[in-house]
């Protein structure tokens, strides 16, 4: 099944906090439940939380009481602010909510009632989810061109089906290379402290039969120095206008290691992860999560009681350490600023064309 799916007026999510022990599906029936699922990381990964938030907005629209449209729009804006507050770093969350609000404004502008609003918002959330799947496959195809036959690839965190609606970004590239029978091997960083690599990426690769070796994060340098790694590929939570990349804590260290060892460091992400409003990575809000996630593993305390622990959930990799950014619009090389601007513009144009095509089909029908 998909990680994020809407069925029978409910958002169905794979609960990523109990994997790999259990494959459990949870249902959210209110925007508040969606916000909580994002906050507690039952659903996680930038594109997946974007799609989940879009369905959260669709649920908010379904709950609107018949009445004045300005009130309905104000209710939706409040629901959007609440969803956005769940996690601050991945821009896909705000991107999806803002896109849903634009769809609401456009529908309300045609003097439609709340039923039409609910229908339009569910259609927009479905479009976001479908686009994510198509986008990931495109990223996989472009990224595959960069993967040599027999490559040993290091990846961090989880960027697969679980982090998206389906298929994955960096893991989508790995999936595409494996599908192309390139006989690749993957080093999976366990990704302390929440262990998205050990719990989720290892689970996904295992299901796909992709050869892997799980390592703790501090082993990456050792294997690079031995010549066991050919390249690193990671996802992103936010890419600023100059190409700086916020991603799971530990990514920056990997990029520095790649530089030291002369290895390519690739970032795979959809254009919905690009935030042209921020000039550089210093402006990105880094989520601080509970120190319990550092002092405990799977609920068991591993540090002395009361010890102070820091937990920035993300770090920023400066653009100069990034070899290329793989998007659904192609492989972008430095200088990233103009390349990112062009990619975002092309993605927006493609969306407009597809939306007007759908509109035309509806009119003809």
Contact 83, 34 (CB under 8 A): yes
Q: Which of 36, 115, 230, 237 is catalytic?
A: 237
**Interatomic CA distance for residues 176 and 208, integer angstroms:** 11
- Residues 107-146: x where in contact with ligand MRU by CB under 6 A, - otherwise, as a string: ----------------------------------------
Whether 180 sits among the annotated catalytic residues: the reply is no
User: Residues 26, 43: contact at Cβ < 8 Å?
Assistant: no
Q: Which residue is nearest to ligand MRU (CB)?
A: 235
Assigned token pair, 240: 């600023």
Q: Which residues of 68-82 are buried (b: 16+ CB within 10 A; e: fewer)?
A: ebeebbebbeebbeb
Contact range with ligand MRU by CB under 6 A, out of 38-46, 55-63, 127-135, 329-337: 38-46
Least separation in angstroms between residue 183's CB and ligand MRU is 24
CB of 90 to ligand MRU, least distance (A): 6
Query: Residue 42: left if φ>0, alpha if ψ -120 to 50, beta else—which one?
Result: alpha
Q: Are 169 and 269 in contact (CB under 8 A)?
A: yes
Element housing 26 (H / E): strand 25-28
Interface with ligand MRU (CB under 6 A), residue from 14, 163, 231, 316: 163
x-marked contacts with ligand MRU along 292-321 as a string, rule CB under 6 A: ---------------------x--------
CB of 37 to ligand MRU, least distance (A): 12
Query: 83 is written with which tokens?
Result: 């969803």
**Residue among 247 and 329 whose Cβ is closer to ligand MRU:** 247
| Rounded Cα distance, 107 and 264, in Å | 46
The answer to whether residue 247 forms part of the interface with ligand MRU (CB under 6 A) is yes
Residue whose CB is less far from ligand MRU, 169 or 271? 169
Chain residues that interact with ligand MRU, rule: CB under 6 A: 44-47, 90, 157, 159, 163-164, 169, 196, 235-237, 247-248, 313
């Amino acid at each position: 099944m998909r990680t994020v799916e809407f069925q029978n007026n409910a958002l169905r999510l794979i609960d990523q906090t109990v994997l790999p022990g259990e494959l459990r599906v949870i249902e959210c029936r209110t925007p508040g439940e969606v916000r909580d699922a994002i906050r507690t990381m039952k659903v996680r990964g930038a594109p997946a939380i974007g799609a989940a938030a879009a369905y959260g907005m669709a649920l908010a629209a379904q709950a609107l009481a018949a009445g004045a449209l300005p009130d309905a729009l104000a209710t939706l804006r409040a629901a959007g602010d609440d969803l956005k507050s769940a996690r601050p770093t991945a821009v896909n969350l705000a991107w999806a909510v803002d896109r849903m609000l634009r769809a609401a404004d456009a529908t309300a502008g045609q003097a439609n009632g709340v039923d039409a609003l609910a229908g339009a918002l569910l259609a927009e959330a479905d479009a976001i989810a479908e686009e994510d799947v198509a986008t990931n496959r495109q990223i996989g195809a472009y990224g595959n061109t960069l993967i040599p036959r027999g490559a040993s690839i290091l990846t961090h965190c989880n960027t697969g089906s679980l982090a998206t609606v389906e298929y994955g970004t960096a893991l989508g590239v790995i999936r595409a290379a494996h599908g192309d029978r390139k006989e690749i091997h993957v080093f999976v960083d366990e990704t302390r402290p929440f262990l998205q690599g050990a719990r989720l990426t290892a689970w996904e690769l295992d299901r796909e039969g992709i050869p892997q070796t799980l390592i703790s994060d501090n082993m990456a340098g050792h294997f690079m120095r031995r010549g066991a790694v050919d390249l690193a590929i990671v996802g992103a939570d936010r890419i600023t206008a100059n190409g700086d990349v916020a991603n799971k804590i530990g990514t920056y260290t990997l990029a520095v290691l790649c530089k030291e060892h002369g290895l390519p460091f690739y970032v795979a992400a959809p254009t919905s992860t690009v935030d042209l409003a921020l000039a550089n990575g210093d402006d990105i809000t880094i989520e601080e999560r509970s120190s319990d996630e550092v002092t405990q593993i799977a609920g068991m305390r591993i540090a002395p009681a009361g010890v102070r622990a820091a937990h920035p959930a993300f770090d920023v990799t400066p653009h100069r350490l990034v070899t290329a950014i793989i998007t659904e619009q192609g492989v972008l090389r430095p200088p990233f600023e103009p390349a990112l601007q062009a990619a975002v513009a092309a993605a927006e144009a493609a969306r407009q064309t597809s939306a007007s095509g759908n509109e035309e089909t509806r009119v003809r029908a």
